[in-house]
Structure 1
Amino acid sequence: MENESRMSMTTFKIGDFVVGGPRTFVIAEIGNNHNGSLALAKKLVDASIEAGADCVKFQLRNREALYRTAPGEEGSEDLGVEYIQDLLNKVELTNDEHRQLREYCREKNVTYMCTPWDEPSVDVLAGFDVPALKLASADLVNPYLIRKAASLGKPLVLSTGMSFEPEIEAAAKLVRSLGVPFAMLHCNSTYPAPESDIHLGYIKRLQEIHDVIGYSGHERGTAVTIAAVALGAKIVERHITLDRNMEGPDHAASLEPAEFKALVDGIRQVDQALPWNGPGRQASQGELLNRENLSKSVIAARPIKPGDTFTEDNLRVASPGQGLAPYRLPELLGKAAHRDIRIGDFLYEGDLTGEKTVKRTYRFAGYWGVPVRYHDFRKYTEMIDPDLYEFHLSYRDLSLAPENYLETVDCRRLVVHAPELFENSELLDLTADDLDYRQRSIDNLKRVVDATERIRRYFPHADSALIVANVGGFSMDEPFPLSHRVALYERFVESCSKIDFGSTELTPQNMAPFPWHFGGQRHQNIFMMPDELVQKAQQLKLRYCTDLSHLQMTCSHFGIDFQDALAKLLPYTAHLHVADALGVNGEGVVIGTGDVDWPETWEKISAYPGTSFIPEVWQGHKDHGAGFWHALDFLTQLG
């Protein structure tokens, strides 16, 4: 097998596109489906762009160089060859028309490629400044054309249809010796190809022969091509046509524009689903949410006093999954409890280590605090003396009397985080299309205002009572059109006009592009983009709760500079959720392990001492606030 000590070239560029990277290079093969019409060819270019293709490809032939002059009488060629030649007489474009298509693609900002079927056609394409050349399956066994194409110094893409494995290996060896980057495409050269003849699993063998491989498909539908991407294809080529019923050998094996768009959409979904950062299996943010809600924990089966020994009799397993996982119960057995544990209380890491809760003191330039629930408020007052508390309310909390849980504190600010989820699994959305749904959201926010006013009685020295809310504007399966944002903001303003906020202040939270709503992902449409947030703050006289994790994910997704965005938002920020983020959906990871540049970020934030913050760390409340203390210790070290 010829792959020993071969030169590795796992990525290369075709134009500005990095082939072999995380995004599949999608070629719309127009070929001769223009039927000899330049106007139809341009329509196919437009359709390919609309469908999301990265590249459009044509075919170029010099008929005199390509075909022999048959000896003997006319009609002596085999019937199949006669048919192909007759068809090409009808559907070919001139060299000048091909040149016009090259310029049209340049104007449309789409990559142009072409398959030369002979050496004179390579010379023609040399004058087009093509970014790469594609060689048809028929020429994988033609070292003369391969050498000629490689002489341009451009990347090559070679299809392997109709070939035997020794021929594929020989072609790969030849191109490597010529020093140009290249890809090899698995292919079955029948039109359309029966699924049983495609042998898609051969892609894995092709990866042993060469580093960058792809798939050129001629089958019906899109499923096999999408599967090829899942198997490792980095380039995909499919024929496109405006009408599959047109005359010609390729139309029947082509996709019409709507099908091609469905193919590209499917490939992009696989592109996003394939990457794995390793090592090992990691749980996603949405899974962590569901793990907490659906999994199980070790809890106390009966009251446990300090000094009592943990046994199988005083521990048991129950939902939800907010404490030690069940498999860790044996680690507790035989250890002594160091705290009072009520029946039903979770067991935590601190119960294994014996670490005791101590009084903690922090000082920062701005107001600082931690998130709390009603039931754990008094516990935190014993551990810290913060500048504020941020009450994270559930919809059930709105039916409770705060007086049963609170005591007067000497805090400088009160923050209340409105529930995201209300009765009947309904998310708060002040911008909803459904008028009844929108009214229910308005009524629910009024309930939050009432609860905040009642809580404020226990914060007599607070300079403000901020209500943090995710105000809506999300969609389920895809973002709304940009033009729809105006209506969403108008609905937000209209909804707010129906609420008497009293002594409270609504501070909308900036959102990430793909917010998690109780274990499921949505698409966010408003209160997300930094420049838009600034504009709306000025226009609507708003201040925000700026969530750094959300902001980092937004900047990562849209390629925005995080520090520039933060500098723009801080003048309009009343309160901060200080949290780290990883990628576009790794929300609230352990501070210092994500993408946020903390020294520069904290320097900017410290210049706004009137701004308050809490560390919002995923599961930070567990083990008596262990995640919060780690985050606050980390920020203290920044100065």
Structure 2
Amino acid sequence: MFMPKKPLIIAEIGQAHDGSLGMAHSYIDAVHRAGVDGVKFQTHIANAETTKAEPWRIKFSKQDKTRFDYWKRMEFSEDQWAGLKEHASSKKLIFLSSVFSLEAFEMLNRIGVYAWKVASGEINNVPLLNKMVDTNIPIWISTGMSDYNEISKILKIIEKPSSDITLFQCTSSYPTNPEQIGLNVIKELKEKFKYNVGLSDHSGTIFPSLAATLMGVSVIEIHVVFSKESFGPDVTSSVELKQLKELVKGVDFLYKSINNPVDKNFVSNDMKKMRNIFMKKIVTTEKIRKNEKFTCNNITTKKSQNGLSSVHWPRIIQSKSNKNLSVGHWLKNNDISKDSK
């Protein structure tokens, strides 16, 4: 097993800022301190992407009469989005934001993004995908609502020789239960489509991301909130900052572990010292006369830096002593009679 590169860890803020520009900026600072590689938002322009007839997935907001009103409250101006991108760049963070309309795409295309992130619900938005392809910027596609047939059809539409595409295993269930994670799909996506594969996780834990690291994903996207007590539709699907820090440490730990294979046949000098301290040696429990047989009743094994290793037990047992031995004597080879039978 070898991992050529550590997976990128992208902190998905989504709507955790609840429409507050100040909160959005504070999330950038917080996830930077956690050690992630990038920060991701969602860029909504209500009039361009939806109508007042859009139903609620979950009616969570008492201040927004309709889903349209909620998306409207989540909007930032182009200057504000540019400020968020500049802030992220100043922290050396990759900046991304999912777009849900052509207007949002055009705005972010002017501002600049590391890659286009296609949300699961936008995977069949061909006009939007075609616009993305024309920019020659990497495209990251979540597949949370799609089967392999739909993924294949979309890829045939947008693929070209220079395509830089990453497919994300994702389950559009909030939060995602362990039985729904679909870690097996990571391998299947790699084999079927020959593209890089990432994980977009909604479990509210770091466990799927750690498992996906071992499976060779190139990107991990995980929702983040300041607190599980926060307000918002994605809180139950998100991790807190302390968990995010643990994920960063865990991915680094696994990367180093995978890329530094251990030769089990090589015993280091340090390990030799440890063996001498921890492994048992053979010692007498009774006085033993010359020519008396060693038995389970007069010898045992205990820790010591002296004496014969307990691995010699089968040879020693029933052999004879060639001298008188006191209690607590650590056996040596010259204590064993050469003509023992």
Q: How does the TM-score come out when normalised to structure 1?
A: 0.40
Closer/same/farther in 2, CA of residues 83 and 231 from structure 1, 3 Å limit: farther
- 8 A contact 1:61–1:116 mirrored in 2: yes
Partner of residue 168 from structure 1, selected from 143, 151, 154? 151
CA distance in 1, matches of 2:72, 2:263: 58
Question: What does residue 88 of structure 1 align with?
Answer: 71
- 8 A contact 2:44–2:71 mirrored in 1: no
Question: What does residue 217 of structure 2 align with?
Answer: 233
User: SS of the counterpart of 1:42?
Assistant: helix
Question: What does residue 191 of structure 2 align with?
Answer: 208
CA distance in 1, matches of 2:74, 2:199: 26
Partner of residue 282 from structure 1, selected from 250, 263, 272? 263
Question: What does residue 52 of structure 1 align with?
Answer: 35
Question: What does residue 314 of structure 2 align with?
Answer: none
CA distance in 1, matches of 2:96, 2:165: 14
- 8 A contact 2:45–2:71 mirrored in 1: no
Q: Does 1:39 align with 2:26?
A: no
The Cα of 1:90 is off from its aligned counterpart by 2.7
CA distance in 2, matches of 1:83, 1:285: 66
CA distance in 1, matches of 2:111, 2:28: 17
Give the letter aligned to residue 236 of structure 2.
A
CA distance in 1, matches of 2:221, 2:111: 21
CA distance in 1, matches of 2:265, 2:40: 39
Which structure 2 residues correspond to residues 109-258 of structure 1 after superposition, within 5 A?
Answer: 109-177=92-160, 179-209=162-192, 210-258=194-242
Structure 1 unaligned regions, length at least 5: 1-19, 71-75, 297-317, 322-342, 345-639
The Cα of 1:91 is off from its aligned counterpart by 2.6
Closer/same/farther in 2, CA of residues 90 and 63 from structure 1, 3 Å limit: closer
Closer/same/farther in 2, CA of residues 167 and 246 from structure 1, 3 Å limit: same
Which structure 2 residues correspond to residues 240-639 of structure 1 after superposition, within 5 A?
Answer: 240-275=224-259, 282-283=263-264, 289-290=270-271, 294=275
Closer/same/farther in 2, CA of residues 179 and 61 from structure 1, 3 Å limit: farther
Structure 2 unaligned regions, length at least 5: 59-64, 280-307, 312-332, 335-341
Which whole-Å deviations, capped at 9, do the CAs of 1:91-142 have from their partners, x for residues lacking one? 3322221111011112222221111112221211121132221111112222
User: SS of the counterpart of 1:201?
Assistant: helix
User: SS of the counterpart of 1:282?
Assistant: coil
CA distance in 1, matches of 2:238, 2:84: 20
Give the letter aligned to residue 178 of structure 2.
E
The Cα of 1:77 is off from its aligned counterpart by 4.6
Which whole-Å deviations, capped at 9, do the CAs of 1:134-156 have from their partners, x for residues lacking one? 11111222222211112111111
The Cα of 1:237 is off from its aligned counterpart by 0.3
Give the letter aligned to residue 138 of structure 2.
P
User: SS of the counterpart of 2:111?
Assistant: coil
CA distance in 2, matches of 1:114, 1:162: 19
- 8 A contact 1:31–1:239 mirrored in 2: yes
- 8 A contact 1:294–1:320 mirrored in 2: no
CA distance in 2, matches of 1:116, 1:77: 17
CA distance in 2, matches of 1:47, 1:286: 43
Closer/same/farther in 2, CA of residues 284 and 119 from structure 1, 3 Å limit: farther
Question: What does residue 301 of structure 2 align with?
Answer: none
- 8 A contact 1:150–1:178 mirrored in 2: no
Q: Which of the pair has the greater relative contact order for Cα pairs under 8 Å at 6+ separation?
A: 2
The Cα of 1:288 is off from its aligned counterpart by 6.9
Closer/same/farther in 2, CA of residues 78 and 28 from structure 1, 3 Å limit: closer
The Cα of 1:276 is off from its aligned counterpart by 6.2
The Cα of 1:236 is off from its aligned counterpart by 0.1
Question: What does residue 303 of structure 2 align with?
Answer: none
CA distance in 2, matches of 1:147, 1:188: 24
User: SS of the counterpart of 1:186?
Assistant: strand
Give the letter aligned to residue 97 of structure 1.
Q
CA distance in 2, matches of 1:276, 1:176: 36
CA distance in 1, matches of 2:40, 2:224: 10
- 8 A contact 2:45–2:75 mirrored in 1: no
CA distance in 2, matches of 1:155, 1:320: 61
Equivalent pairs: percent with the same residue?
Answer: 27
Closer/same/farther in 2, CA of residues 255 and 127 from structure 1, 3 Å limit: same
Question: What does residue 339 of structure 2 align with?
Answer: none
The Cα of 1:287 is off from its aligned counterpart by 5.8
User: SS of the counterpart of 1:248?
Assistant: coil
Q: How does the TM-score come out when normalised to structure 2?
A: 0.72
The Cα of 1:180 is off from its aligned counterpart by 2.5
The Cα of 1:164 is off from its aligned counterpart by 0.8
User: SS of the counterpart of 1:80?
Assistant: coil
- 8 A contact 2:171–2:201 mirrored in 1: yes
The Cα of 1:89 is off from its aligned counterpart by 2.7
Give the letter aligned to residue 219 of structure 2.
I
- 8 A contact 1:175–1:182 mirrored in 2: no
CA distance in 1, matches of 2:4, 2:230: 36
Give the letter aligned to residue 80 of structure 1.
R
CA distance in 2, matches of 1:132, 1:240: 20
Which whole-Å deviations, capped at 9, do the CAs of 1:567-598 have from their partners, x for residues lacking one? xxxxxxxxxxxxxxxxxxxxxxxxxxxxxxxx
Closer/same/farther in 2, CA of residues 287 and 192 from structure 1, 3 Å limit: farther
Closer/same/farther in 2, CA of residues 224 and 276 from structure 1, 3 Å limit: same
Closer/same/farther in 2, CA of residues 286 and 223 from structure 1, 3 Å limit: farther
Give the letter aligned to residue 232 of structure 2.
G
- 8 A contact 2:118–2:142 mirrored in 1: yes
- 8 A contact 1:147–1:178 mirrored in 2: no
Closer/same/farther in 2, CA of residues 202 and 21 from structure 1, 3 Å limit: same
* Count of aligned positions: 275
CA distance in 2, matches of 1:47, 1:37: 15
